[in-house]
Amino acid sequence: MTRSAIILVRIALLLAVLGAWEVLPRAGIVNPMLLPPLSLVLKTLGEILRRGDFQEAMAVTTAEVLVAFVIAVPLGAVLGVLSAENEYFGAIFKPMLFYVFSIPKSIFLPMFILVFGIGFGQKVAYATFSTIFIVIMSASAAVESIKSEYVLVAQSYGATRAQILRRIYVPSMMPILLETLRISMIFNFTGVMISEMYASRTGVGHMIANWGENFMLPQLFAGVVVLAVAAMSFNELVRYMEARWSTWRS
Amino acid sequence: MEHMAKLNRRPEHAPQAAVEVRGLGHIYEGRDGAVPALTDIDLTVPAGHFTVIVGPSGCGKTSLLMMLAGLRTQTSGTILCDGRPIPKPDPERVGVVFQEASLYPWLTAVENVEFPLVLKGAPRSERRARAEEMLNLVGLEGFGGRYPHELSGGMKQRVSIARGLVQDPPVLLMDEPFAALDEQTRMTMGHELLRIWSQTSKTVVFITHSLTEAVYLADEVVVMSARPGRILDRVPVDLPRPRTYQMMATDKFGQLRERIWHQIRDTP
């Protein structure tokens, strides 16, 4: 199949799904109470986007996601590099990190509520906690992926430690780090959503949970569309950066 | 200084040694205690000479080269490069060309070549001009913008050589630079290396497993024993220069090759 044929099929498939979403509830084949037709969801979407409380919730959620991301990614990257680079640090912390990584983070949520309450701080703390392990593991794998010859060559040309970090480590690790950025955002976003849906006074996750409990399906779907678009946009942005960075890869 | 180096291009005008190793020994701490890797190494490479080191795998040739480059410290003995000890890498005295392609895949050919100058903090225009000049020298004019994965194995090693020469060090160390190449490319690269060498008057220390390559390239072949590595023989190669492929078919070439082969074969 040629590339354009594949793209055409993809578009056709998307249109088919969207079409079914509109037609099936209207025809009564699917219960419209459970799956409101697409046009109704989009109309509701337009309404809620204009609502002050939804805009406020979006602002809060965005802030939580960004703050947790800005804490978890650099901190996790530094810890990951340290655990790969420093023999003792690695020997002590790696097994521990590895074990904790395997536990589903959501079981710790009640403890976060007890310690941080149900406000902004708790969302950020929990999302950071659910994101940081994947960042540590990936950063440590990224360091281990650096070829020792690359470092040796730089040393033979008199590179200092700082120069090796900047000129060898960073570019060598960049493909894995960008990938990590993408995956950690998924973990981070999920962390914020779960903690908002579990116990909160505001935020998009909180509103979605409420709409669900009150059987307000058009609103619920509209909220889902907003979050899906936000998540996919970030994902595509990082993928675009990856593609630009990776021109040197075969 | 540069002009002086150019005047002194042939060894007979430059009697001082570019590389001088005296009583060098090296012991490393292995899992089962101390392992002697090199013993009693004495080596003199006159300025402008092409010396090739051959020996069985694990005989410590690469360790020796690392020490000459200041990348490793020997347990005993002295090393003088260009008249002075080399406690740490000094790219203005010693350039290194590594095994296989050690080019940075995220840098283009010309960026790879100018990498040592970037570390030194040379101005952009100056280092770019110098790198282009080196690429021309190794026969890669017009390929500067390519990434390593867009170059053939032979071209990659040309870039490595250009990178080794970019700071104009008097000494160039080469650790099996052509080992990963196919036979035909390897021959061409050997020939090219001799051309570059004759144009730049460098002192070369070259490690290889190929005896044909050793005899073809060298002024002198140093034969090392299996571990602990020591020098078994020094074979002067008095074939005329420039070397030609036809020389490989001569009796003289065969005898030299045979002499080296006997030394290596007889070691356990």
Give the model confidence (pLDDT) of B49-106 as tens digits: 999 999 888 888 889 999 999 999 989 999 998 889 999 999 999 999 998 768 999 9
pLDDT for position B101: 67
Which amino acid, residue B92? E
CB contact under 8 A, A149 and B91: no
Contact B119 A154 (CB under 8 A): yes
B11 contact A CB<8A? no
The answer for B 166-195 residues in CB contact with A (under 8 A) is 167
* List of E strands, chain A: none
Overall average pLDDT of the B221-247 stretch: 91
Burial class (CB in 10 A: 0-12, 13-18, 19+), A94: middle
Q: Is any Cβ of chain A less than 8 angstroms from the Cβ of B265?
A: no
State which residue of chain A sits closest to B113, comparing Cα positions.
Answer: A157
* C-alpha distance from residue B178 to each of A202, B100, B175, B245 (Å): 66, 7, 9, 17
The single-letter DSSP state of residue A249 is: -
- Which of A146, A149, A156 has the highest number of chain B CBs within 10 A, making it the mutation to test binding with B? A156
| Contact at CB, A154 and B147, closer than 8 angstroms | no
pLDDT at B254 over 60: yes
In chain A, the residue whose alpha carbon lies closest to the alpha carbon of B93 is A157
Give the mean model confidence (pLDDT) for residues A8-28: 95
The Cα of A162 is separated from the nearest Cα of chain B by a number of Å equal to: 10
Q: Which is more confidently placed, B58 or A228?
A: A228
DSSP annotation of B105: T
How close does chain B come to A38, measured CA to CA in Å? 46
Residue A250: pLDDT band with limits 50, 70, 90: low
ipTM: 0.85
Cα-flanking dihedrals φ and ψ of residue B84, to 5°?
Answer: -130, 155
**Is the CB of B88 inside 8 Å of chain A's CB atoms?**
yes
> Which of A40-44, B11-15, B41-45, B188-192 has the weakest average pLDDT?
B11-15
* pLDDT interval class at A87 (50, 70, 90): confident
Least confident of A111-115, A227-231, B32-36: B32-36
How far from A64 is each of A16, A72, A223, B33, B230, CA to CA, in Å? 36, 12, 17, 56, 66
Task: Give the A:B interface size as CB pairs under 8 Å.
Answer: 58
Query: What 3 state SS string does A140-154 have?
Result: HHHHHCCCHHHHHHH
Per-residue pLDDT at B13: 44
CB-CB under 8 Å, A158 with B89: yes
C-beta atoms of A149 and B149 within 8 A:
no
Rounded CA-CA distance A98/B30 in Å is: 30
Show which of residues 230-259 on chain B sit within 8 Å of chain A, judged by CB atoms: none
pLDDT given for residue B6 in this prediction: 44
What crossing angle do the helices spanning A52-85 and A170-198 adopt, rounded to 10°? 140
Instruction: Give the gap in angstroms from C-alpha A159 to the nearest C-alpha of chain B.
Output: 6
d(CA A170, CA B242): 45
Which residues of A are less than 8 Å from B118 in CB distance? 167
- pLDDT tier at A140, thresholds 50, 70, 90: very high
Tell whether A165 lies on the interface with B, counting CB pairs under 8 A: no
A145 and chain B in contact, CB less than 8 A = no
Calculate the dihedral angle through the C-alpha atoms of A87, A91, A93, A98, rounding to the nearest 10 degrees. Answer: 120
